[in-house]
Amino acid sequence: MADFLKRKRIGEILIEMQAITSAQLEVALKRQSSARKMIGEILIENKVLSEEVLFRGLSLQHGIEFVNLNNTDLNTDLIRQIPESLIKTYKFLPIRKEPKSLTIAVFDPTNTKMFDSIKMATGYMFIKWVLATKTQILYIINDVLYRPQNVLDNVPIDDLLKDVKLEFSKEENQLTDTFSGAAQSDFNLEELKRESDQTSIVTLVHKIILDAVKMRASDIHIEAFEKIIQVRYRIDGILYDIMPIERAAQQAIISRIKIMSNLDITERFMPQDGNFKLRVKNQQIEFRVAILPSIYGQNCTIRVLDAGRVNLDLKGLGFREEDLQVFEHNISRPWGLCLLAGPTGSGKTTTLYSALSLINSRQKKIITVEDPVEFKIPGVHQMQVQENKNDANRSLTFSRGLRSILRLDPDIILVGEIRDYETAEITIKAALTGHMVFSTIHANTAIETISRLENLGIDPYLYASALCLLVGQRLVRKICPSCKTEVDPSPYIAASLGISMDTLSGHTLYRGMGCKQCNNSGFRDRTGLYEVVEIGPELKDMIGQRRSNSELVQFLRNHNVKTLADCCLAKVLEGEVPVEEFIMINMGS
């Protein structure tokens, strides 16, 4: 019977269940071509079908059991044995286990890749599955299991705000005078300001910001959707849902943040950037604000720049001892080019700031051109890229700023990022004319920097002569020390790490179980992975001869240069990083 039903369309099955009528199905099918949604989603939107009834029909279609998770006791001990990243990636819930099999609840039984990945990561030979509604599974994952604990939930708001002093570059009540006529006709400026100054809105915005600081968030996302506003925090590189807010409060919240940042509160349709500062318990923290319009209103992202949390000690960033010695030797050279490669948010700027802090002295003049200046370094002249929207000739670009820097007799130069041919050319020429130059570039690995420079149009002979060091970088999450728990070794874990069981048996692996100190995530803070490539004479010749990436990689392997995956594996075997972080690094490398 199951095989027969499995071949039927879900609409037919729902009609046989008497859950919908033929007329209701016909209406949904007509809408499907333009809506580009599954027929079940349309039936639910048309309010002729509940999600539970739809999934009961899907269970008949696929011949698998349906479970209502509201009536099922979660096995938290079993859930803790499964990597959090795996559950979040594939959106499933472990239900029960047997000696050789694991039963999971899913809402998409057609995702065969999911079952293979779960089998590999957990070590179970057989994966069985049952069907549950998407809403129930996502709610349990996001709001029950892995929602960060709000450390301020039990603290009175008044107690929080007494430690806060807002600092503005202008008076708080002073607003921009130059509003367009169209904007003024659409809004009552005084009404907008009155709404944003309500005590409840001020308190809510301050609480969102203060919670983010207390929970070590690097970014605050205030996102507009059809029915709610969702507040999310990025903690240790991962986004967490924090709280939904009534859609009616959206305009007042955004206006309040704009007032704090000295932005135009009447502008709804153009992106805006600003900043403000908070002093929390005598620690000044800067916040960078970006406002972006969307179909449901304005979204806001706030970057938290807490200088007190930034570690500028090279030894604490995560370098292997041998790599740190190579890095320190090369950044102390009198001239040359040091490039850091990695995606956005991989810690490149922090590493460069740490390098500048180490070599900074009164005998050297250091000048930077950045976009933006993240943190201020004592004794270093820092310049920020500025865009002039009305006159491009009056914009301060990387290339224009770099040309100016060269006339100021610097010893050391930091260029925030090499984005184009002009910036790359001037940077390399500066390194060849007796300056030590640091910069970053978007490339996946250190050696891929070579092809990236070539794609920008730079002659390999030119950059081969200038280069002295290439560094590939990533950040991985560390296991929370407060809830660190041993993990039993298994052949599947050994296979995931690419090592033998004998090698694995000689080490103790750990993972975080989740506690108050880590917001129930099992992770606390991050550490760097570094692929350090010193450009010696032989490598310079190979680069100048336009050797392929594969040849360059083989050269590095022959000279025992450690890759990002090698560095991550070492940290896993040392018990600092969990296995799932290695898997993610391996997938991205």
Q: What is the pLDDT of residues 495-523, one digit of tens each?
A: 888 888 888 888 889 888 888 888 778 88
C-alpha 357/C-alpha 466 separation (Å) is 23
Range among 114-123, 200-209, 547-556 rated most confident = 547-556
Average pLDDT of the residues in 45-60: 87
DSSP per residue, 113-168:
HHHHHHHHHH--SEEEEEE--HHHHHHIIIIIISPPP-TTTTS-HHHHHTTEEEE-
| pLDDT score, position 551 | 92
* Predicted pLDDT of residue 180: 30
What is the dihedral angle through the alpha carbons of 328, 329, 330, 333, rounded to the nearest 10 degrees?
Answer: 120
Residue 584: inside a domain, yes or no?
no
- The lowest-confidence range among 8-22, 112-126, 274-288 is 112-126
- End-of-domain residue from the set 145, 165, 193: 145
Query: Which CATH number covers residue 73?
Result: 3.30.300.160
- pLDDT of 587 reads 65
Residues 334 and 391 in one domain: yes
CA dist 394 and 401 (Å) reads 12
pLDDT attached to residue 191? 54
**Cα gap 8→39, rounded to integer Å:** 14
Residues 179 and 221 in one domain: yes
In the numeric block, the tokens 């999971």 are attached to 104
Instruction: Count Cβ atoms below 10 Å from residue 404 Cβ, excluding itself.
Output: 13
Q: Which domain holds residue 57?
A: 2-62
| Residue finishing a domain among 277, 308, 339 | 308
In the numeric block, the tokens 């978007």 are attached to 442
For residue 28, being part of any structural domain is answered with: yes
Mean pLDDT of the chain: 83
Cα distances (Å, whole numbers) of residue 229 to 67, 160, 195, 297, 300:
31, 23, 17, 10, 11
- How many Cα atoms within 13 Å fall on the side-chain side of residue 545? 10
The bridge status of strand 366-370 relative to strand 412-415 is parallel
pLDDT of residue 468 exceeding 60: yes
Residue 113 has pLDDT above 80, yes or no: no
Kindly indicate the confidence band of residue 152, based on its pLDDT and cuts at 50, 70 and 90.
very low
Give the domain-ending residue among 252, 285, 308: 308
Q: What is the CATH number of the domain that holds 370?
A: 3.40.50.300
Q: Is residue 304 located within the same domain as residue 318?
A: no
Structure confidence at residue 520 (pLDDT): 78
Q: How confident is the model at residue 537 (pLDDT cuts 50, 70, 90)?
A: very high
Q: Do 39 and 86 sit in the same domain of this protein?
A: no
49-53, 69-73, 519-523: which is most confident: 49-53
Asked if residue 238 is part of any domain, the answer here is: yes
H helix intervals, 340-397? 348-359
**Residue 589's pLDDT band (boundaries 50, 70, 90)?**
low
Residues 111 and 174 in one domain: no
In this model, does residue 187 exceed pLDDT 70?
no
Q: Going by DSSP bridges, is the β-strand pair 272-280/283-294 parallel, antiparallel, or unpaired?
A: antiparallel
Q: Rounded mean pLDDT of 216-227?
A: 92
Cα dist from 295 to 36, 108, 161, 224, 302, whole Å: 19, 29, 34, 9, 20
> What is the rounded average pLDDT of the residues 304-319?
82
pLDDT of residue 479: 92
| Sign of the dihedral through C-alpha 398, 400, 403, 404 | negative
- pLDDT at residue 157, as a whole number: 43
Query: Dihedrals φ, ψ of 333, to 5°?
Result: -65, 155
Q: Is the pLDDT reported for residue 189 higher than 70?
A: no
pLDDT-derived band of residue 176, with 50, 70 and 90 as boundaries?
very low
- Please check whether residues 299 and 226 belong to one and the same domain: yes
Whether the upstream peptide bond of residue 481 has omega within 30° of 0, thus cis, is no
Same domain, 274 and 341: no
Q: How many residues does the chain have?
A: 589
573 is a domain residue? no
Q: What are phi and psi of 565, to 5 degrees?
A: -65, -40
- Do 183 and 234 have their domain in common? yes
407 & 278 share domain: no
What single letter denotes the amino acid at residue 543? I
Residues 282 and 137 in one domain: no
List CB contacts of 110: < 8 A, sequence separation 6 or more. Answer: none
**Is residue 351 located within the same domain as residue 411?**
yes
Please give the pLDDT value at position 188. 54
Number of domains in the chain: 4
C-alpha span between 429 and 437 (Å, rounded)? 10
**Higher-confidence position of 14 and 1:** 14
pLDDT band at residue 542 under the 50/70/90 scheme: very high
220 shares its domain with 365? no
pLDDT of residue 168: 39
Q: Is 70 helix (H, G, I), strand (E, B) or coil?
A: helix
- Determine, yes or no, domain membership for 51: yes
576 found inside a domain:
no
Please indicate, yes or no, if residue 496 is contained in any of the structural domains. no
Global pTM reads 0.68
- Alpha helix ranges (H) inside 506-563: 537-544, 549-558
Please check whether residue 476 is in contact with residue 571, taking contact to mean a CB–CB distance below 8 angstroms.
Answer: yes
The CATH number of whichever domain residue 266 belongs to comes to 3.30.450.90
* pLDDT (tens digit per residue) in 384-402: 887 766 656 667 888 888 8
